[in-house]
Amino acid sequence: MDQDPALIVDLERLIEPVTRGDPESPLRWSCKSTRQLADALKEKGHRTSHRMVAELLHALGYSLQGNRKTQEGDSHPDRNDQFEYIYAQVKQFQSRGDPVISVDTKKKELVGNPKQTGSEWHPQGQPTKVQVHDFPDAELGKAAPYGVYYPILNIGWVNVGADHDTAQFAVESIRRWWYSMGSACYSEARCLLITADGGGSNDSRVRLWKRELQALVSNCVS
């Protein structure tokens, strides 16, 4: 590697667009095999092998992972191109210093005194008393946490709503994030890139989601 310092740089460029796993975890894995990566590096003029690639991946914090059954139905033929496009957009925004955020509604929780998983330290024989049945309270309902995460700063922000998880609530959460934290972190920003899973309150097919985003942009510009 001392004779080929560009090897690791080119390897990371090959695996970064297809890296999977928790963005906050140091343990990562790639969906490309070591032989595929070695062949791609050879095409770039590097003298390497799949064994050397495996050693470099371990040194960079990657591990070999098996498949897991998580997908249902057929995958869209343009799925990979879509993710490559999103990745390119994210890099372009980050290079300009414009904010990129990931948004999603987290697990809804019952408000009140229902049973929760886990345990706490209490005097022996004096557990916390909770409701027998975990039915939603007619008045309190459920809490819907809507999260905003901007990975380049590794900072998260959560807006908790006590009403329904609607597109209007989703955009309102983004608006509150921007005026409470985002605008201070990105005072010179001209654009905002929002990545979402395309379902639920931020479904790409929901007109209210798009209309509320347009209203958000209009208010920020004006």
Render pLDDT for 40-73 as a digit per residue (tens, 0 to 9): 888 888 888 988 888 888 888 777 665 555 555 5
What CA–CA distance (Å, rounded) separates 67 from 29?
11
Render pLDDT for 191-208 as a digit per residue (tens, 0 to 9): 999 998 877 888 888 889
Render pLDDT for 90-124 as a digit per residue (tens, 0 to 9): 999 989 989 999 998 877 776 656 666 666 666 77
Q: Please, are residues 33 and 59 in contact by the beta-carbon 8 Å criterion?
A: no
pTM: 0.56
- Domain assignment of residue 71, yes or no: no
- Domain assignment of residue 159, yes or no: yes
- Domain assignment of residue 167, yes or no: yes
Residue 167 per-residue DSSP state: H
Indicate if the pLDDT at residue 30 is higher than 50.
Answer: yes
- Domain assignment of residue 122, yes or no: no
Range of the domain at 10: 6-59
Query: How high is the pLDDT of residue 69?
Result: 56
Render pLDDT for 152-172 as a digit per residue (tens, 0 to 9): 888 889 988 876 778 899 999
Q: Are strands 142-150 and 100-105 parallel, antiparallel or unpaired?
A: antiparallel
- Domain assignment of residue 68, yes or no: no
Q: What CATH number does residue 153 fall under?
A: 3.30.420
- Domain assignment of residue 183, yes or no: yes
Q: Indicate the pLDDT class of residue 8, thresholds 50, 70 and 90.
A: confident
How many CA atoms, within 13 angstroms, populate the side-chain half-sphere of residue 180?
11
- For 93, the token pair is 């925004």
What CA–CA distance (Å, rounded) separates 112 from 177?
26
Looking at the fold, whether 38 and 144 belong to one and the same domain comes out as no
Query: How high is the pLDDT of residue 176?
Result: 93
Looking at the fold, whether 154 and 86 belong to one and the same domain comes out as yes
Alpha helices in 69-202 (DSSP H): 79-96, 167-177, 183-185
Alpha helices in 17-139 (DSSP H): 34-43, 50-59, 79-96
CA distance from start to end of the chain: 54
